[in-house]
Structure 1
Amino acid sequence: MPYIAHIRKEDGGIQTVREHLIEVKELAESYGEKINVKHLSGLAGMLHDLGKYTNEFRDYILAAVQNPDAPPRKGSVDHSTAGGKFLYQLLHTENMVPSQALVAEVVGNAIISHHSYLQDFLSPNLESPFLLRVRDKKAKELEGFEEIKHLFYQEVISSEEFKQYIMNATTELEAYLSKDSSDSLENKLLFLSKYLFSTLIDADRTNTRLYEENSGGEEEVNHSELFETYYKRVLKKIESFSVDTPINQLRANMSLQCDEFAEKPSGIYTLSIPTGGGKTLASLRYALKHAIRHGKRQIIYVVPFTTIIEQNAAEIRNILQDDIHILEHHSNVIEDVEDDENEDGYASMNQRLKLAKDKWDSPIILTTMVQFLNVFYSKGNRNSRRLHNLAQSVIIFDEVQKVPVSCVSLFNQALNFLKTYAGCSILLCTATQPALDFVEYKLDIHKDAEIVQNLDGVVRSFKRVNMVDQATEEPFSTYQLASFIHEKQKEAQSILIILNTKTVVKALYETLKEKEPYIPIYHLSTSMCAAHRKQILTEIRQLLRDEHPVICISTQLIEAGVDVSFHCVIRSLSGLDSIAQAAGRCNRHGEKGIKDVYLIDHAEENLKFLKEIKVGKEITKKILLDMKKNSKSHGGDLLSKIAMDHYFHHYYSDPELSSKLNYFVPKLEKNMTDLLTETKRTYSYHDAYVSKHGKPVPLFLVNSYKTAADHFEVIDNVTTSVLVPYGEGKELIATLSGEENIDDITKLLRTGQQYSVNVFQYELDKLSENQALISYFDGKLLAIKESAYSNEYGVNLNNDSPIDISIF
């Protein structure tokens, strides 16, 4: 009887180990070829399930099929150690060639980890989980190892061919390491390890799915032809725009500069179009032209917030007239359970749905900064699976200044890898470019990075607002601010007020409702679900179009990517980048000449737990004081490039924030950059290992990949998504109570993204205490009761909102 890799549920068909190893090898080779590591990734593919060449695994998988109600414990037969042990014994000997030993470490780690995550070469407990698997306990427990090797050489590849294959893989490794002499060996191997892991995970899962579905594969999309079609549609759209105003002429000129710049070689560039300058269309024009000229496979937009994804995706779909090839990928309301291959050979319906989606192989992808960083640094193999599909792409970062402070170094290192080794062209889009080449782990931005020529002149020509400094005067109370707004409303029909905390936003809203009973007043915060905020913004936009008086009080959620234009904006003092974004919500198209943006200091804001806002506010205030003393200071304009560079240099240098740039892990008292890229000579864990064992770790790499991933979260305060009874959310909650069909549930949950709110743990505890929570699927999905959601404020922790049927 043949050795079995998988058994198809539909007809009992058997995929042999030989077939699976060869097919995964070929798929992995195609993924690795994108960055010239075809044989390294293929090596992982042909060895990953070597441990299935045993009677023990065959008995295990047959028992699972024959006894579906009482199968053997999942994973009770180790089949992933054998391939790693094989490489280690072959290449990591006493007379080893260093480059071949590195192949054993990097490829071997991917193999032994393909049902979990890359293992630590050295962990905080001063042991080596990698060596434990390939050399020590686990390896010694492996039965029939000599027979496994014999079968491999007999069925998969001859020993002579395998030796040559390893030589080719070693040559690829040496070529890869020869790039960028300024980069450390550990950093290069970190990203190579992650890339190879990605190719193996995707090749393995894809082959398993295709066998289970009895499919020959999916039809390849001709990206080049598609991009040519898209590009023609973009040009047609641009031709339809009027250039009868100075602002429109500027937009057209910057768009043309993007088109011309796309001819340049791939690199890391900046697009500093002022707010309202049409950067979505201009960046799309660059991306399509560059992809066509330089053979790029995909265009990926990375944005800070899901609200911007929705807006950008709608705009891009409208321009490109295509719903099929544009993927939006962001958070789901149900917890992402790690997708692992069913080791009994079956794949459940739920499993197959997971295997089929989120590969990031669509021609155009829109995703969030959280998802992008998770691909490189988060635990589990579902995120890692997507990494190889970033290669040979054009990647556009919208509002790049929103990179979380703690992730700045990790972000820079990932982009440097994509540029230098993965053939990507990267565009940093924002009106407020952060100084990412100023920090310790610098971003390798091109020396002539900026696309927009004469940027200071463009900023002056684009001037639509006058910044009025009242922040260096006496602070405003909520009551005083309400009175100030009352006076301004006499001369400005529409006013937007942006404050730093939800508490003061709510307090001002309640005060203004009493003070201005005849003017529509709106409240916006992240306590509301996306559909609720969207509805409010729709109403506000209609009032603005009708030039009807309107007042909106919001947290900073309205600043990035929300296309609204008020006559007057009042901004509570914060970081200069936020102030620039707030200014972009005032007189957005220059239709009202020059309008005022007032900067105020709100006395009742508590920024104790909002360090980044607090630090940004202090630096901005110093800039304002400088300009008060000398009007020509900082370029004579609060929003000038000089002022912005000064701001970010001081921001990243501030003692409260500079210590966070390398992602400090308090529990370990270490930076994540140390866990991932430190050398044997400088790594404190290695020093401690030598002290404990009296000898160094017998490996070239000693980094702690799994430990780092276990401690990584893009956002410090982890939140939980809860479904809320707003609009269709009420029907969704009712439907989920009795729904069992997995296809329908998946569709419903996708809809549920619009009707969910992220709550902090203390808020979740309060909701639970007040009996406001409803639990589904063993707590994986949470919803709140109708009385815990307000039509004005969103989530109500006290669970005492009157039920307003008008919102349903």
Structure 2
Amino acid sequence: MIYAHSLENRSKTDWETLEAHSLRVAEGARRRAEVFGAGDMAAMLGLLHDLGKIKPGFQRKLNGEVNDVSHSGEGAKLLWKGLGRPLAAAIAGHHGRLPDPDRLRARIEGAEAIPLPDWCRLPEWNWPARIAADKRQAPYRLQFLTRMLYGALCDADDRETAAFYAGELDRMPGEITPAMLASFDAYMAGLGGTGPVNNLRRRVLEHACSMGSHAPGLFTLTVPTGGGKTLSSMGFGLNHARAHRMRRLIFVIPYMSIIEQTADVFRDVLGPDAVLEHHSNADWDGEDEGEAEQLRVMGASWDVPVVVTTAVQFFESLHAARKKRCRKLPSLAQAVIVLDEAQTMPLALLRPCLAALRELMEAYGATVVLSTATQPALTRAGGFLADEALEGGREIAPDPAALFDALKRVEVRDVGAMDDVALADRLQVSAQALCIVDNRTQARALFDAIRDAPGAAHLSTLMVPAHRRAVLAEVRERLKNNGPARLVSTSLIEAGVDVDFPLVLRAAAGIDSIAQAAGRCNREGKLDRGLVEVFRSEHSAPPAVEQFAAIGREVLAEAHDDPIGEDAVASYFRRLWGTYGADALDAAEVNGTAGLLAAIRACGADCPYEQIEAAFRMISEKQRNVIICDGAWGVPRDALEDLRFGSAGAVAKRVQHHSVNVPWGLWETLWEEGHIAWWSQDRFGEQFATLQTSDLYDACAGLSGLGDPGGIA
């Protein structure tokens, strides 16, 4: 008898045979891939993935012998010389990551040739016709499909293995149901509210829901800030999913500062079990060949009806090699994907991002919604001339131009240069004001200058999520009660954070950023006009921000009727694309080749998955996560100690609201001075770092910026 999994101190009659495990994984992988027409291919991978466990050395390993016999190369070897060669990487990497060609070749050379057992009857299969239809696009489509199949295999394998040890069946994924749409309708009916702004929001919502019957593909939702984009996009998504039997909603949000806010709204509408909140603070990207570690690091598969995630998590997963990130990819097929604040996609990776979105729509039945007040003109008609330009988008909102006129609530002024002293004075004399700068160090210095003023508050990514959430709650309460509220923030507040100030001061930036800042001003239309003052800071902005600001100043000088209206935004993006050029929109380098897309085309059937993953980094500044313990905003140390012998996933989930992503420069300073240390290193290695010097976390302003070069969030 050949076994796949053993049970300690249990009779071998209770062990799982290789036949049973392989057939179950094949069926699970087939279910996950059938939705994009590749069920037979996935089933083949499931049947072959553990073929190497037949080796006597591995069977002795299951019986307790300590050895380093691997098992993932043998199934890959069977595919290597035939039609399935590109899929060999999926089998070879099913415990860790999709390997680069040289590492895959070494794995194949070291694998044994094992004949198929009688129970292993491989299904007939063929590559999708669209891969061969365009030779230039074939390598891109091939590596994309391989990642999707790899995700299906890894998720099925991990879940079946876990189900065996837990004594339960692999559960079916959660999908959108008619009851969820009914819950949404009931929630919206109960909101009420009067006045022109609420009436306009209802009109946008009704029109968005009516658009759900349109065929899947590309949509835009162009609504001014404060016009109800979030709930309107949810209404569209639920109706669209219901009309076309789509499976789930994926909400992609640019900043963690609003992911909790959005997830909370969706939980209120649909209930807690229907919504998954997934981002870097709740994630761990470890890998190991061992079965025990394979179970311990099981991550989210996005197999719930509604997922709220970050743009970093979403786009980096689409270009990942690690199984933990690829496991979620099959869940994107036949999903409604809403990109909130779509203009925040990183310019240096914009073309690869658009290529992935096009592939999801064209080959995997997904719908993509670009939701923003400042549509980034990603079509040829809008001046975007790269091959990846999106086409055929349908507008969900009713008459965006009229919406912008109706919701014009601010006056934008260019007030010239202002140093920090002038800014602090402006904040001191204004009872309610928001100041946004593009530099963490400047934001902290400005807050320190006014921290004794009534209602002074601070926001940056050097504060843990629980702290930021509490600050925003207090600011909203002060604004609601007409109390003093003086908030200094980095740009993280611009993307969808629901605050309503009469005055916003914004450091010079691109027109899209100025428009987003204006969305925090007179949001509810309580004033005839709010005031947005754009100033030139005495501090140097990061080079990219300065370039955006220069183009923004050119557009402001064009004297549009509305300097942040649709015409001004369109002019800004036309200038931006002209300034950058196509090459700068795919700027990452892969093994000497300029551009991810060019590197993929050049590789043919042998994709360098690990190099692609390393090159595709939406946050170029290297960061490490630090857990804050005790104090007003830390996780209690005794609660952390209770998890010392738990799983890495359980620890990550417990600390996600009490952790800070620290820039590398600050990390090095803190480490060298002994302010941080690895927690439970004997068990988890270098996974979890804790702040040892509690005084460095300010209860009002977050982690000290000592050694931090600034940054923009």
TM-score (norm 2): 0.92
Alignment RMSD (CA, Å):
2.5
> Is the 1:615–1:651 contact (alpha carbons within 8 Å) kept by the matching residues of 2?
no
Match in the other structure for 1:201: 154
* Structure 1 residue 29: Cα displacement: 1.4
Q: Confirm whether residue 701 of structure 1 aligns to residue 605 of structure 2.
A: yes
Residue 64 of structure 2 aligns to a residue whose secondary structure is helix
Match in the other structure for 1:606: 540
Match in the other structure for 2:166: 213
* Structure 1 residue 187: Cα displacement: 1.5
Q: Confirm whether residue 524 of structure 1 aligns to residue 459 of structure 2.
A: yes
Q: Confirm whether residue 544 of structure 1 aligns to residue 493 of structure 2.
A: no
> Is the 2:666–2:706 contact (alpha carbons within 8 Å) kept by the matching residues of 1?
no
Match in the other structure for 1:795: 703
> Is the 1:257–1:452 contact (alpha carbons within 8 Å) kept by the matching residues of 2?
yes
* Structure 1 residue 34: Cα displacement: 0.6
Q: Confirm whether residue 417 of structure 1 aligns to residue 359 of structure 2.
A: yes
Q: Confirm whether residue 722 of structure 1 aligns to residue 626 of structure 2.
A: yes
Residue 619 of structure 1 aligns to a residue whose secondary structure is helix
Match in the other structure for 1:686: none
> Is the 2:220–2:393 contact (alpha carbons within 8 Å) kept by the matching residues of 1?
no
* Structure 1 residue 361: Cα displacement: 0.6
Q: Distance in 1 between matches of 2:263 and 2:675?
A: 34
> Against the structure 1 CA distance between its residues 247 and 741, is the aligned structure 2 distance closer, same or farther, given a 3 Å change threshold?
same
* Structure 1 residue 391: Cα displacement: 0.9
* Structure 1 residue 334: Cα displacement: 7.4
> Is the 1:527–1:794 contact (alpha carbons within 8 Å) kept by the matching residues of 2?
yes
Match in the other structure for 1:457: 402
Q: Confirm whether residue 26 of structure 1 aligns to residue 45 of structure 2.
A: no
Partner of residue 508 from structure 1, selected from 431, 446, 452: 446
Match in the other structure for 1:154: 118
Number of positions where the alignment pairs a residue of Structure 1 with one of Structure 2: 697
Match in the other structure for 2:658: 755
* Structure 1 residue 335: Cα displacement: 4.5
Match in the other structure for 1:52: 53
- Measured against aligned partners, the alpha-carbon deviations of 1:729-767 in whole angstroms (never above 9, x if no partner) come to 545235435753316x85554232222111112111222
Q: Distance in 2 between matches of 1:368 and 1:731?
A: 23
* Structure 1 residue 112: Cα displacement: 2.2
Residue 759 of structure 1 aligns to a residue whose secondary structure is strand
Match in the other structure for 2:329: 387
> Is the 1:788–1:797 contact (alpha carbons within 8 Å) kept by the matching residues of 2?
no
Q: Distance in 2 between matches of 1:732 and 1:176?
A: 54
Q: Distance in 2 between matches of 1:440 and 1:361?
A: 36
> Against the structure 1 CA distance between its residues 728 and 324, is the aligned structure 2 distance closer, same or farther, given a 3 Å change threshold?
farther
Q: How does 1:174-185 map to 2 (within 5 A)?
A: 174-177=128-131, 184-185=137-138
- Measured against aligned partners, the alpha-carbon deviations of 1:667-699 in whole angstroms (never above 9, x if no partner) come to 7353222222336xxxxxxxxxxxxxxxxxxxx
Match in the other structure for 2:690: 783
> Against the structure 1 CA distance between its residues 544 and 441, is the aligned structure 2 distance closer, same or farther, given a 3 Å change threshold?
same
Partner of residue 594 from structure 1, selected from 514, 529, 538: 529
Q: Distance in 2 between matches of 1:730 and 1:244?
A: 41
> Against the structure 1 CA distance between its residues 666 and 81, is the aligned structure 2 distance closer, same or farther, given a 3 Å change threshold?
closer
Match in the other structure for 1:86: 78
Q: Distance in 2 between matches of 1:522 and 1:220?
A: 42
Q: Distance in 1 between matches of 2:508 and 2:155?
A: 47
* Structure 1 residue 327: Cα displacement: 0.9
Match in the other structure for 1:398: 340
Q: Distance in 2 between matches of 1:381 and 1:217?
A: 18
Residue 470 of structure 1 aligns to a residue whose secondary structure is strand
Match in the other structure for 2:710: none
Q: How does 1:330-349 map to 2 (within 5 A)?
A: 330-332=279-281, 335-338=284-287, 340=289, 342=291, 347=292
Q: Distance in 2 between matches of 1:317 and 1:298?
A: 15
> Is the 1:8–1:211 contact (alpha carbons within 8 Å) kept by the matching residues of 2?
no
> Is the 1:51–1:80 contact (alpha carbons within 8 Å) kept by the matching residues of 2?
yes
Match in the other structure for 2:711: none
Match in the other structure for 1:138: 110
> Is the 1:495–1:570 contact (alpha carbons within 8 Å) kept by the matching residues of 2?
yes
Give the counterpart letter for 1:435 in structure 2: A
* Structure 1 residue 448: Cα displacement: 4.4
Residue 616 of structure 1 aligns to a residue whose secondary structure is helix
Q: Distance in 2 between matches of 1:793 and 1:726?
A: 16
Q: Confirm whether residue 117 of structure 1 aligns to residue 97 of structure 2.
A: yes
Q: How does 1:560-639 map to 2 (within 5 A)?
A: 560-602=495-537, 604-607=538-541, 610-627=542-559, 633=560, 636-639=561-564
Q: Distance in 2 between matches of 1:757 and 1:421?
A: 38
> Is the 1:728–1:755 contact (alpha carbons within 8 Å) kept by the matching residues of 2?
no
- Measured against aligned partners, the alpha-carbon deviations of 1:174-212 in whole angstroms (never above 9, x if no partner) come to 434367x59711111121111111111112222211222
Q: Distance in 2 between matches of 1:50 and 1:463?
A: 64
Q: Confirm whether residue 494 of structure 1 aligns to residue 432 of structure 2.
A: yes
> Against the structure 1 CA distance between its residues 796 and 444, is the aligned structure 2 distance closer, same or farther, given a 3 Å change threshold?
closer
Q: Distance in 2 between matches of 1:20 and 1:398?
A: 41
* Structure 1 residue 374: Cα displacement: 2.5
Q: Distance in 1 between matches of 2:589 and 2:490?
A: 29
Tell me which moved more, 501-510 or 403-412. Answer: 501-510
Residue 197 of structure 1 aligns to a residue whose secondary structure is helix
* Structure 1 residue 727: Cα displacement: 4.1
Partner of residue 325 from structure 1, selected from 274, 278, 293: 274
Give the counterpart letter for 2:624 in structure 1: T
Q: Distance in 1 between matches of 2:700 and 2:104?
A: 54
Tell me which moved more, 79-88 or 244-253. Answer: 79-88
- Measured against aligned partners, the alpha-carbon deviations of 1:484-535 in whole angstroms (never above 9, x if no partner) come to 4456x2xxx411111121222233334345xxx6533222222222222222
> Against the structure 1 CA distance between its residues 518 and 787, is the aligned structure 2 distance closer, same or farther, given a 3 Å change threshold?
closer
> Is the 2:131–2:137 contact (alpha carbons within 8 Å) kept by the matching residues of 1?
no
Partner of residue 277 from structure 1, selected from 192, 214, 227: 227
Q: Distance in 2 between matches of 1:530 and 1:21?
A: 42
* Structure 1 residue 565: Cα displacement: 0.5
Partner of residue 352 from structure 1, selected from 295, 313, 319: 295
Tell me which moved more, 435-444 or 399-408. Answer: 435-444
* Structure 1 residue 20: Cα displacement: 2.0
* Structure 1 residue 285: Cα displacement: 0.6
> Is the 2:73–2:107 contact (alpha carbons within 8 Å) kept by the matching residues of 1?
yes
5+ residue gaps, structure 2, are 708-713
Q: Distance in 2 between matches of 1:61 and 1:641?
A: 65
Match in the other structure for 2:637: 733
Q: Distance in 2 between matches of 1:507 and 1:129?
A: 49
Q: Confirm whether residue 36 of structure 1 aligns to residue 37 of structure 2.
A: yes
* Structure 1 residue 574: Cα displacement: 0.8
- Measured against aligned partners, the alpha-carbon deviations of 1:404-461 in whole angstroms (never above 9, x if no partner) come to 2222122111111110111111111111111233546555644242212321121011
> Against the structure 1 CA distance between its residues 266 and 341, is the aligned structure 2 distance closer, same or farther, given a 3 Å change threshold?
farther
Q: Distance in 1 between matches of 2:404 and 2:443?
A: 31
Residue 677 of structure 2 aligns to a residue whose secondary structure is strand
Q: Distance in 2 between matches of 1:8 and 1:192?
A: 35
- Measured against aligned partners, the alpha-carbon deviations of 1:229-274 in whole angstroms (never above 9, x if no partner) come to 1212222232234463221221111111111111000001111111
Q: Distance in 2 between matches of 1:10 and 1:391?
A: 42
